[in-house]
Amino acid sequence: MPATPNPATAATGLNFPAGTALTARGLSVHFGRNKVLKEVSIDIAAKAVTAIIGPSGCGKSTFLRALNRMHELNPDARMEGDIRLFGDDIYARGVEPVIVRRRVGMVFQKSNPFPTMSIAENVTVGLRLNGLRDKKLLAERIEQSLQMAALWDEVKDRLNAPAISLSGGQQQRLCIARALAVQPEVLLMDEPASALDPLATQKIEDLIVHLKKDYTIVIVTHNMQQAARSSDYTAFFYLGELIEFGPTAKIFTNPSQKRTEDYVTGRFG
């Protein structure tokens, strides 16, 4: 755990021990006439785990996807506001979403290894399709990424086996390895363990805690215990607004907002 920041600070301006990775200011996202995210301002701590919690439809996935411009895949989406990644405006004119996404990787709720590729090919797909051909470097990245994703020991003898032959939890860790292989600065996770059994979930959570040494992690979760166990900071979203943001311990034990307290104690949501 990082040093406890000043609990009196608002959603922005917390003292992060390793600095700030992402800053969002006045972030709103519309889908057609529907405004699903309303003027959210938040700072995301570098090399720490930030959990996004809130009931279904509160805009937490939309927030996550705005952080690497994935929401743009929906042609009806429109975004206002400002997001900076280590100071760089990721929505600036001339900035390609493709480049943003190489810096801000993503892992999805449903594990989605490419079915036509082997385990090794899945890990390197992001590198290969972006032009990396060096076999030695690719081999290094395969081992390194699978090690980081805590999957290496289980698959090192069958790297050429089909990715879809892995179990659900292994597939999800493979997807994490695939995202890590392109060496992003930030890793976004959209309910990465919600489709997994408790043991596989445990492994993913251990992995998240382990990864924050090197990466900034933002995780959307429905699972309150998961947020409490594995995150350093927690943001509570409700109906498209950021209700409260602070150190996880404070959000779960001493929230300053009534709605946060009601949600984390299971009174609604």
Question: Which spans of this chain sit near other proteins (rule: CB under 8 A)?
Answer: 68, 70, 73, 98-103, 105-106, 108, 110, 112, 114-116, 125-126, 129-130, 161-162, 164-165, 175, 178-179, 182
Distances in whole angstroms, Cα of residue 187 to Cα of each of 61, 71, 76, 184, 216: 14, 16, 25, 7, 6
Nearer to other proteins, 48 or 175 (CB): 175
Question: Shortest Cβ distance from residue 102 to other proteins (Å)?
Answer: 3
Nearer to other proteins, 84 or 128 (CB): 128
Question: Shortest Cβ distance from residue 64 to other proteins (Å)?
Answer: 11
Question: Shortest Cβ distance from residue 116 to other proteins (Å)?
Answer: 5
Question: Shortest Cβ distance from residue 260 to other proteins (Å)?
Answer: 30
Which amino acid is located at 98 in the chain? V
CB-based burial label for 143 (10 Å; 0-12, 13-18, 19+): middle
Nearer to other proteins, 2 or 162 (CB): 162
Collapse the DSSP code of 51 into the 3-class scheme (helix H, G, I; strand E, B; otherwise coil) and give the result: strand
Facing residues of 89 across strands? 84
Distances in whole angstroms, Cα of residue 195 to Cα of each of 76, 112, 148, 185: 28, 12, 21, 26
Phi/psi for 237 (5° steps) reads: -105, 145
Nearer to other proteins, 9 or 89 (CB): 89
Nearer to other proteins, 106 or 150 (CB): 106
Question: Shortest Cβ distance from residue 178 to other proteins (Å)?
Answer: 7
Instruction: Give the start-end residues of each E strand in 46-155.
Output: 49-53, 77-85, 88-89, 104-107
